[in-house]
Amino acid sequence: MSHASVLFPALSGGLYALAACLYALQWWRASRPLRALASLALGAGLAVNLLQLGLRWVQAGQPPFKTLYESLLLAAACIALVYLVVELTYRARLLGAPAAVGCAVVMLVALTRADREAVNLPPALQSAWFIPHVTIYFFGYASIFLAAAVAAVYLVRPRPIGLRRPDLTGGRPIALEAVFDGAVRFGFALLTVGMLMGAAWAKVAWGDYWTWDPKENWSLVTWLVFAAYLHLHYLHHWRGRRLAVLTIVGFAALVFTYLGMHLLPTAAQSIHVYQ
């Protein structure tokens, strides 16, 4: 497992980076081989990524979601999977570059935090809730990441995309606001499922569904920001740029929830902080 913990993310990260370049090239020049190569590179990166997760699962005999390194592997796979589903469903390749860049960056971070050993699961994590709670949350994270990426593009270029490049958008112009709005809604639904599952699990494990643990609190903060987004969306003047900014703010809260807990002065009170 020791060499694999570096080789696999290096390989999948390289493939994701290649896919990012190929997808980005399509913004300037599109061709059928370029499109196929981009999808192939992303698919190959995802395959290596999933293979590593699978091998780690088999070798350790437990789901590989415990350490920061393992969760980064899962995060990259979720971003790639969510994007590929969007590409296959809508035939739109607009999000390919930001998705692949996200995967490559996550893999780069994973390389700096490579674990050689799987960490033993404590008793509380040996539960049927563990796998759905974590994976649903990470699919939610992936959706919100894609939403924030599109929102950032929207802030720079708010016009609909694809009027001249139907190959990027599945043959029809796409309003970026509708894209990030849809991704936010999908992500919010998954964050809701993940949070309620976590609360129900905590009740079964410890007798309390909410303990004001810092990680619980920040997942609530993220949820509240996106719940506010959904309510603000119905106000006439809360469109476009304001919602894009709120999406990015929500994504920043989400990244802090995921990676920033050790920075909090209350981190010692949390059982969720990655070591």
Partner 1 sequence: MAGAADRASGEAAAGGQVAAGSGLARGFILLAAVFLAGNLLQHGLGLALGGARAWVVPGGLVCFVLGVAAGLHPRLFGYLASNRFSAPVLLCLGALTALGTLILQDLAPDQVREVYGWGARLVLGLHLHEVFHSLGFTALLGLGAAGLALTLARRRPLTWRRAGALLAHLGLLLVLAGAAVGALWGVKGRLELREGEVAEHFVVARDGRLARLPLGFQLRLDDFRLLEYEPRWRVMVFAVRGEREERLLSVDPAVPGEAAALRAHGVALLRYLPAGLPAAPQAPAAATHAILVGGTRLEVEPGRTVELPGGAGRLRVLRAFHDFVLDAATRQPRNRSARPDNPALEVAFLDAQGAEERRTWLFARFPAFEHQADAGAAGPAPVALQYVFTPPVEPGSGQGPAVELGLAGLEEPVLLGPREPLRLGGDRVLVLAAAGGDMVRDYLSDVSVLEGGELRLRQTVEVNHPLEHGGLAVYQADYRPEDHAFSGFQVVGDPGLGVVYLGFVLNLLGVLWVVFFPRGLPWPRRRAAGAGGGA
Residues that bind partner 1 (CB under 8 A): 2, 116-120, 122-124, 126-127, 178, 181-182, 185-186, 188-189, 192-193, 196, 199-200, 203-210, 212, 214, 217-218, 220-221, 224-225, 227-228, 231-239, 253, 264-266, 269, 275
Query: In whole angstroms, how close is the CB of 267 to partner 1 at the nearest point?
Result: 9
| Residue closer to partner 1, measured from CB, 88 or 224 | 224
Query: In whole angstroms, how close is the CB of 119 to partner 1 at the nearest point?
Result: 5
Query: In whole angstroms, how close is the CB of 187 to partner 1 at the nearest point?
Result: 9
For residue 161, the cross-strand partners are 174
CB half-sphere exposure, 66, CA atoms < 13 A: 19
Query: In whole angstroms, how close is the CB of 199 to partner 1 at the nearest point?
Result: 7
| Residue closer to partner 1, measured from CB, 157 or 231 | 231
Query: In whole angstroms, how close is the CB of 197 to partner 1 at the nearest point?
Result: 9
Count of all residues that appear for the chain in the document: 275
Whether the Cβ atoms of residue 24 and residue 99 lie closer than 8 Å to each other: no
CA pair distance 67, 83, nearest whole angstrom? 24
Whether the Cβ atoms of residue 132 and residue 195 lie closer than 8 Å to each other: no
| Residue closer to partner 1, measured from CB, 47 or 227 | 227
CA torsion, ordered 10, 16, 20, 25, to nearest 10 deg? 100
CA pair distance 245, 152, nearest whole angstrom? 8
| Residue closer to partner 1, measured from CB, 23 or 223 | 223
Residues 6+ apart with CB under 8 A from 2: 116
Query: In whole angstroms, how close is the CB of 85 to partner 1 at the nearest point?
Result: 14
CA pair distance 228, 133, nearest whole angstrom? 23
Of 88, 3, 7, 1, nearest to 43 (Cα)? 88
| Residue closer to partner 1, measured from CB, 105 or 189 | 189
| Residue closer to partner 1, measured from CB, 87 or 181 | 181
